[in-house]
Chains A and B, each alone.
Chain A
Amino acid sequence: MKKVLLSPLDPVHDNAVKLIQRKLRDRDYATILMPPGTTVEEIVDTAIHEKPDAILISRTLGYQVAETLGRLVDLAEAAGIRETTRIGVGGMAITREVGAELGFDATFVGELKMTELLSFLENRKIEFLDGDDAAAENQGKPDITAGYTYQFKDSEIASLLDTIAEQALHWASTRTSDGIKRAQVRQQMLETDTEAEIAQLRNDYTKLSGTDIHSFYTQGTLPSGVRWLETKEVQNLPSLLETKPEKHKLRHTQAKPLFFVQYGTGCPVMDIVHIKASEAWGADGVLHFDPSWNAQQEGLMEGLLSHEHDGTILTYENLKLIREYIGENTLWDVRGHRGLNTAETQILGHAAGAGLFKINIPYGSTGGGTDPARLAVDGIYSLHLAAQYGIPFDIPGNDELSGVPPQKTFAGILIMMAIGLKLGARPIPKPLMCYSPYMAMHGDMDDNMIDMNTAKLAVWQTIVDTPVWPGEPIGFMTHSPERVQSATTTAAHAALATSLGMDAATIASTDEAYSKGPISLQARVDTLRSVRDLLRFTGSTHFQATPQAQVLMQELREGIVNTLKKIAQRGDFVQSIYHGDLGSPEDGIYPGRVGQGTVQNL
């Protein structure tokens, strides 16, 4: 049994060594704990007589404390114990450089990491983890859909969805669009090596593109606010990221949810820095956001491009550059749920290495502004691609933000799930945790925000065995421009999602809703930090909703069934969107018009 001598070398504080003692005892180490106020001489004298394998010192560093720690090491050397007893030091202000100066055999920087400590005690080479143990340990890339069967538990809903999905697939099977044709050309371009063929294919692509993209390929003009990324900006990236950040974990005792953040600063280089910071602060995944106008034009550009407004331009080169820097185990989701380039986005995302797609026809063709028929054709083609690539797709329910009641939004998500499942894809519903206009008007959150959100998240498991990923971001419309307030509400929603056993959650930066410009890095860390602390606070405890949550869940289920019935009766999924079955002008939403009249019959 190894023996460890622990001392705070501090007049008062000994919590750290007490904690270490408990953890070492659990692992069958013999420990000797010295009290606060112990002198350097007492530590060394005890070590002389007890002959421990290691001495662990905990101390917050101050100007004179460094001298004291140095004297401890020197006295230990003078007493001849350094050849048999190794000495480690830890504390919030200890750095490895200070440890080297003071002559310690090991330094434990920042918060307690037992993996490092045990490596030291067992004389193994210490892999300095720079952060939380679990965060730094290689746990592999998670699969959100793993273990879910997608078996429907609600037969009435299953039956309605089957009817609607069959009709939608049949409808789409005889239609195409320039968006799909461009996706097919782009696929060929990615698979072709010869410049001549690529040039020919690019020519074909250009003919299928809208005015701005046509000008880009034929005249080299860039849209307003777009510029080429300079070579030196890309070349400087490795040195910019040279410093290895500390890694933290967001979850405490909880196994899930996985936490995602959205990026899309406009500049791929800045995105990479945001991604690396988010990873360091425990984010499990990132979502690529492109500019709104990117979705409203026929065609995508090529090359490394920077955009001075929100949203990072979708090009293969931009995505590839970003992918190069994303952590091995970080999930990467590319948004393509709305717009005229939805199909091509999946092609580019897959080629660049994306692990998740984001597709929602009802939302994209209402709140997203794209013509329902056009997005239905392109979206269903995209689901084929998701199935073909084996890449799960998530379905954001953000049409709620426009006033659509959750039952209609959820019906739309369920239809997307049903279509995807029929094609062999793996869907992930993303009910929105928010204080939506509908809630404000109907008073369902007047007393608290737990009952309604609980109902919205819990209802899914009564319908189908599916992963659930509340989005996007959680706490939408509870945020204000004040950073502490914003971080607090995000953390509260994250804790509720965790309590309800959600599989993933997307969190915003504290300036995301109100930044009026690029999102700042510190605002991004705000929420990650607050989520981390709230999850530490809640641990394995759970929120207790009132009985009202059950009532709301039942109402939701009934609303979903009524919506689906209406769509099934109409017998036309696309027409249902036009007619407001999944969100009407009365709700606050209109069918999109971008790409109107562009669907072609095969």
Chain B
Amino acid sequence: MKSFGFAGTAKNTGKTTTALAVLDHSRQAGLRCALTSIGYDGESLDHVTGLPKPRYKLQPGELIATARECLEASPASCKVLAETSVETVLGSILIAEVVAPGLVLLAGPNRESDLRLILNEFSSLSAQLTIVDGALNRMVPLICTDGLFLSTGAAYNQDAAQIAVHAASLEQIFRLPRAKGSAPDGEIAFQYKAGKEHILPGGSLISDDTLDRISALPMETCTEIVIPGACQPELLAKLIPVLPDGVLIHLGSPLKMIASGNPLLWTHVLALANGKNIIIDVLQTLPLLFFTVNPFYPQYSQKNGTYQPAYIDANRLLKKMQENVHFTPIFDIMQPTQGTIKSWFELNISK
């Protein structure tokens, strides 16, 4: 079974629309699909903007993992196959099979360990492709999927150039190499030339206190540093100047890096590291499969206190993205002439 995560750089960038497109192609390829979310999806109107949202309409035989209350509120007729031990604020997660077509509401596992459990359940039920819809500003649990589709657009920033630069930073993070060997579990670790090791409890570098404790350590003979948890790029940027040239820094994963700070800052950090021949890699990788771009954004009207649909120039957005993102396919789902998810899907998944 293949599982894919769908994330967005901001709310309303089109991750569900992208997921729906992939779902459609999966059906056409005859794959048995399963669906879950690490957030809450399937509502008709956006909770914040009040604008309409795309919804998941599933077909008989397709599987879902969703909270009990969501399943009860889903118009689709479903047969419950199993109740899992995963709890959410909307009840325990049920695995169900759609028996009559209809819309579904999704609230699935919200942490990595729970998502793994759900993916295993789907796999045991012969699902061939699982879609994991992301959540607002949350990606880290998606590390246990086989690849990520990332949506960006005007809802993130109304300047096409800035969207593209941001996307390029993201691409750079996802292209970091995988670290060789295994790392100490959960703690910040320092490896020295003589084979000596120093462990700093905590696993994350997100405070000046931790940075001070690291800075107090002898760094001259340090050869490797492992920061498996969260790592703020601003703090790493302060650390790099005191590190010896050529040191290896192993970070957690691209998703943990993004959760820890602005991708643009990571570009700056990677440049700093490069200047000192410092290699930064990640303990876990996740393929970034493609970007989708969306010129739509919700524009707030102060006059009447509501959000209205608004758009930036779609062609310019796509062009800027193509100028900045060099290794990852880019699609505008609403402009199929510019390249289609379908052809990508046929090339990469169906085969």
Contact = CB atoms under 8 A, between A and B. Distances in A.
A102 B40 CA distance: 8
Interface stretch (B25-33, B160-168, B171-179, B252-260): B252-260
A103 B230 contact: no
Contacts of B206: 41, 44-45, 48, 75, 79
A576 B338 CA distance: 98
A101 B47 contact: yes
Given A75-B230, A78-B256, A105-B110, 18 more contacts: A41-B232, A45-B204, A66-B11, A71-B137, A71-B259, A73-B110, A77-B140, A78-B204, A83-B113, A98-B47, A100-B39, A100-B89, A100-B107, A100-B110, A101-B39, A102-B39, A102-B138, A106-B89
Contacts of B256: 78
A103 B110 contact: yes
B309 to A, nearest CB: 16
A73 B38 CA distance: 12
B16 to A, nearest CB: 12
Interface string B183-196: 00010000000000
Contacts of B229: 48, 78-80
Interface string A42-76: 10110011000000000000010011101101110
Contact of B202 (A48, A70, A74): A48
Given A100-B90, A103-B138, A79 B67 contact: no
A592 interface: no
A21 to B, nearest CB: 23
Interface string A92-108: 00011111111111110
16 contacts: A41-B232, A45-B209, A48-B203, A48-B206, A63-B48, A66-B11, A70-B138, A75-B259, A78-B204, A78-B229, A78-B256, A78-B259, A98-B47, A100-B88, A104-B110, A105-B89
B136 interface: yes
Would you list the 6 A-B pairs with minimal beta carbon distance, nearest first? A70-B137, A103-B110, A101-B40, A78-B256, A78-B230, A45-B207
A97 B140 CA distance: 20
Contact of A77 (B186, B210, B232, B259): B259
A422 interface: no
Interface in B60-88: 67, 87-88
A341 B159 CA distance: 77
Contact of A79 (B10, B141, B203): B203
A82 interface: yes
A95 B43 CA distance: 14
Interface string B294-332: 000000100000000000000000000000000000000
Residues of B contacting A: mostly:
loop
A45 to B, nearest CB: 4
Contacts of A75: 206, 230, 259-260
B228 interface: yes
Contact size class for A? 20 to 34
Given A77-B111, A78-B259, A95 B47 contact: yes
Contacts of A48: 202-204, 206, 229
B228 A80 contact: yes
Nearest to B298: A63
A104 B228 CA distance: 23
A100 B67 contact: yes
Contacts of B110: 73, 100, 103-105
Of the candidates B139, B140, B255, the one having the most CB atoms from chain A within 10 angstroms of its own CB is: B140
Given A41-B206, A78-B252, A79-B203, A102 B135 contact: yes
B121 interface: no
Interface in B74-120: 87-90, 107, 110-113
Contacts of A106: 89
Contact of A80 (B67, B90, B135, B186): B186
A78 B255 contact: yes
A79 B251 CA distance: 11
A97 B136 CA distance: 12
A526 to B, nearest CB: 25
Contacts of A101: 39-40, 47, 107, 135-136
B135 A103 contact: yes
A44 B204 contact: yes
B88 A41 contact: no
A199 B111 CA distance: 67
Contacts of B255: 78
